[in-house]
Amino acid sequence: MRRILFVLALMSIALPARAADFYILNISDDYRVLLLDPTTIVATPDGHRIYHLAEISEFDLWVDDRVESDCAGGRMRKLSALSHLAGGGTVPGLASPGDWYAVGAGSVGASVNDVVCQWPNSKPTGNSVYDAPDFETAVTCISGSVTDIKQKK
Domain with residue 38: its CATH number is 2.40.128
**DSSP SS3 for 115:** helix
Whole-number pLDDT of residue 120: 92
Number of domains forming the structure of the chain: 1
Radius of gyration of the chain (CA): 15
pLDDT < 50 stretches in the chain: 1, 4-8, 10-18
In the prediction, which pLDDT does 152 show?
Answer: 79
Angle separating helix axes 2-11 and 135-152, nearest 10 degrees? 130
pTM, to two decimals? 0.83
Instruction: Let me know: does 97 contact 76? Beta carbons within 8 Å.
Output: no
Judge residue 144's burial from the number of C-beta atoms within 10 Å of its C-beta, 0-12 exposed, 13-18 middle, 19 or more buried. middle
In this structure, are residues 29 and 147 in contact, taking their beta carbons and an 8 Å threshold?
Answer: no
β-bridge mates for residue 26, sequence order: 34
Amino acid residing at 15: L
Q: Write down the pLDDT at residue 153.
A: 66
pLDDT at 147: 82
* Structural domain boundaries enclosing 46: 2-152
Within 10 angstroms of residue 18's Cβ, the number of other Cβ atoms is 9
Q: 19-48 burial by CB neighbour count: b if 16+ within 10 A, else e? A: eebbbbbbbeeebebbbbbbebbeeeeeeb
Using alpha carbons, select from 46, 98, 50 the residue that is nearest to residue 72. Answer: 46
